Amino acid sequence: ETGVTQTPRHLVMGMTNKKSLKCEQHLGHNAMYWYKQSAKKPLELMFVYSLEERVENNSVPSRFSPECPNSSHLFLHLHTLQPEDSALYLCASSQGAQGLGNTIYFGEGSWLTVV
């Protein structure tokens, strides 16, 4: 138990569906992240939120839409995805305001399969 909870753990969706991934952190952190992990590729940072403001968007297609309603919750809204978007999506959090001296904690991930 890392203090970062992701739901659902597994999701299968069609290319025309709309679904959302949810992340909740119980660590009192003020920065949250979405990473994408595909087979044989390094983890890719998708989005960074700090104090509920998006501070980084790493050229992610608009079919991925993040939302951070408060410092404890982060969503990734999915719409008209492609099969190549199938991957493990990892949420993470850290105490970003204190800089690099803080560890990033990861959730267990949501396995997404697009059919």
Partner 1 sequence: AQSVTQPDIHITVSEGASLELRCNYSYGATPYLFWYVQSPGQGLQLLLKYFSGDTLVQGIKGFEAEFKRSQSSFNLRKPSVHWSDAAEYFCAVGALTGGGNKLTFGTGTQLKVEL
* 56 in contact with partner 1 (CB under 8 A): yes
Peptide bond into 69 cis (omega under 30): no
* 86 in contact with partner 1 (CB under 8 A): no
Distance CA 3, CA 108 (A): 10
* 51 in contact with partner 1 (CB under 8 A): yes
Please, what is the minimum distance in Å from the beta carbon of residue 12 to partner 1? 16
Query: Where do contacts with partner 1 occur on this chain (CB under 8 A)?
Result: 2, 4, 6, 30-31, 33, 40-43, 45, 48-51, 55-56, 90, 94, 96-97, 99-109, 111
